[in-house]
Amino acid sequence: MSGETVSGETVSGETVRGETSRALVLERFGSLPRLIERPLPPPQPGHTVVRMLAAQVGHLDLNIVDGRFGILPDLPVVPGTNGSGIVLSSDTHPEGSLVRVNGKGVGLRRDGCWAEHAVVPDAAVKAVPEGTDPALACGFFSPAGTAWAAVHSVAAVRPGERVLVTGAAGAVGALTVQVAARAGAEVIGVVGRPAKLDHVPAPTKPVLAAELSPETVGGQVDVLIDTVGGSVLRDALDLVRPRGRAVLVGYTAGREFAVDLADFLLADVALLPVNLMTRGREVAADAERLLAELSAGELTLPIERHSPDRLAEAVTRLRTGEAMGKVVLDLS
């Protein structure tokens, strides 16, 4: 995938490959996008052309590919709500600079980042410090912003509180346990399979979901931050103290769970949603700060890299919960 050109110009001394570009194109909801060679997307006013280097494969992207999300694009479409790359042409962003792309309907209402080239609204493009790993640049914002929003904006975790985090070896979960620990909480991290116990970042106490009980958790918790949903949410809710808070982030293990309303009132636990789409601006500065710490190795976000022609494998690993952390397509 080398040798890029826009309007016939070479970029960073690379060889010109031609006026075509590879993209993963979704033609039917419920199928997987196909990798095709197509003409370079033409520049448009108010838009930036980005040579993508990396793109996230996230659960939101899979919900869109499956046609199971409240906002869906017209087909055919290039999925990919988060990516990173080099600016090829733009009226507002310096050419040759490293940027990340997300928001403004990218991968949701218009073509996204699962392509060598993307033409995206200028406002969807954000500067990233030079030297940042492109995979980290495209993958950090969703887990970092969501972890920060869950711990600080929604749960308002206080020092000394006990916080239970599910999916604690996942992308959002791994950052959530670290952000909660830094907020002064005692953190317990829940994982679904024994292989993940060693992948929960310190200083969290790891616990298997199948063994969740007041004994294994050490009594009730003040806060639950759930990234898994389904039956895991139902079981974990029982461990929250009366007047505690339960924050729902995701639903990888199931979109539904039944609540007995009488029990819900008796338990007196607030169940609160996190929506990064409505909180992205509010947490942007904090997420950027976390990026600096991730780059410096002071925080951990595991990343799996996959080639775009192995999309099916990447998707399977994410869907089954086998993936360790952020799943990223290497488009370089």
Ligand X SMILES: NC(=O)c1ccc[n+]([C@@H]2O[C@H](COP(=O)([O-])OP(=O)(O)OC[C@H]3O[C@@H](n4cnc5c(N)ncnc54)[C@H](OP(=O)(O)O)[C@@H]3O)[C@@H](O)[C@H]2O)c1
Shorter beta-carbon distance to ligand X: residue 236 or 249? 249
| Residue 173 C-beta: closest distance to ligand X, Å | 5
Sole residue written with tokens 């192995």: 310
| Residue 142 C-beta: closest distance to ligand X, Å | 5
| Residue 320 C-beta: closest distance to ligand X, Å | 6
Provide the 8-state DSSP code for 154: I
Peptide bond into 203 cis (omega under 30): yes
Sign of CA dihedral 276, 279, 280, 286: negative
| Residue 311 C-beta: closest distance to ligand X, Å | 16
Shorter beta-carbon distance to ligand X: residue 9 or 313? 313
What is the C-alpha separation between 41 and 19, in angstroms, rounded? 9
| Residue 6 C-beta: closest distance to ligand X, Å | 32
Shorter beta-carbon distance to ligand X: residue 40 or 55? 55
Shorter beta-carbon distance to ligand X: residue 49 or 249? 249
Biggest distance spanned by C-alpha atoms of the chain: 68
C-alpha count within 13 angstroms, C-beta hemisphere, residue 138: 32
Shorter beta-carbon distance to ligand X: residue 125 or 232? 232
Interacting residue ranges for ligand X, rule: CB under 6 A: 58-60, 142-143, 146, 167, 169-173, 191-193, 196, 209, 227-228, 249-253, 274-276, 318-321, 323, 325
The closest alpha carbon to 305, from 326, 278, 277, 275, belongs to: 326
Shorter beta-carbon distance to ligand X: residue 26 or 86? 26
Which string of DSSP letters, residue by residue, matches 27-69? -STTSPPEEEEEEPPPP-TTEEEEEEEEEEE-HHHHHHHTT-S
| Residue 197 C-beta: closest distance to ligand X, Å | 9
**Beta-bridge partner residues of 34:** 25
What is the C-alpha separation between 81 and 115, in angstroms, rounded? 11
| Residue 114 C-beta: closest distance to ligand X, Å | 16
Angle ∠(200,201,203) on CA atoms, nearest 5: 110
Shorter beta-carbon distance to ligand X: residue 119 or 157? 157
